[in-house]
């Protein structure tokens, strides 16, 4: 498969965004006070790294298979960590990290939703649609974390 100049520029832009997400989750995992949130950030970092690798394959001319995974968000059931005895500054910090991450996921998901239309190859379109669904799952997981901890 050969990408047009426009398609390559679009994939490169998405790749840059995914690299930023990987870095964000790595940093936020180090900053989070709650071990449950640290684990969630570590999991999301790995999932974003898979997106990076998928886009790199596309840049090299092949399209990896995808599974249209829409279960991660549905299946995620975090345990509450924060209660009335918790340090309110720790909770405030983790609330900020989770909220900011949801904003990032919404932005990236929206970008995929738009950029998918720049491609003629149906396999690339399917891959980008799959990643877009996974980005929505990430936001749902973060929202569930916030909800169970009284942050939403």
pLDDT of residue 111: 97
The low-confidence residues of the chain, meaning pLDDT below 70, are 69
Instruction: State the pLDDT at residue 71.
Output: 76
pTM over the 0.85 mark = yes
Domain of residue 143 covers 5-148
Find the CATH number of the domain harbouring 115.
1.20.1260.10
Look at residue 74 in the predicted model and tell me its pLDDT.
84
Report how far apart the first and last C-alpha atoms of the chain are (Å, whole number): 44
Q: How far apart are CA 34 and CA 146, in angstroms?
A: 12
At 83 the pLDDT is 82
The alpha-carbon radius of gyration of the chain (Å, integer) is 17
Contact 43, 26 (CB under 8 A): no
- Would you tell me how many other CB atoms lie within 10 Å of the CB of residue 79? 8
Q: How many domains does the chain have?
A: 1
Looking at residue 14, its pLDDT comes to 98
């Amino acid at each position: 498969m050969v990408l047009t100049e426009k398609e390559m520029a679009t994939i490169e832009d998405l790749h840059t965004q995914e690299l930023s997400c990987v870095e964000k989750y790595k940093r936020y995992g180090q900053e989070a006070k709650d071990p449950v949130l640290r684990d969630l950030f570590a999991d999301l970092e790995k999932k974003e790294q898979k997106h990076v690798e998928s886009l790199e394959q596309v840049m090299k001319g092949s399209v990896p298979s995808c599974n249209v995974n829409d279960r991660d968000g549905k299946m995620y059931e975090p345990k509450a960590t924060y209660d009335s005895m918790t340090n309110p500054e720790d909770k405030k910090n983790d609330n900020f990290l989770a909220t900011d991450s949801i904003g990032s996921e919404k932005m990236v998901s929206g970008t995929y939703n738009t950029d998918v239309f720049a491609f003629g190859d149906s396999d690339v379109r399917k891959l980008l649609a799959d990643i877009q669904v996974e980005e929505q799952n990430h936001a749902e997981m973060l929202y569930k974390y916030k909800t169970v901890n009284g942050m939403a």
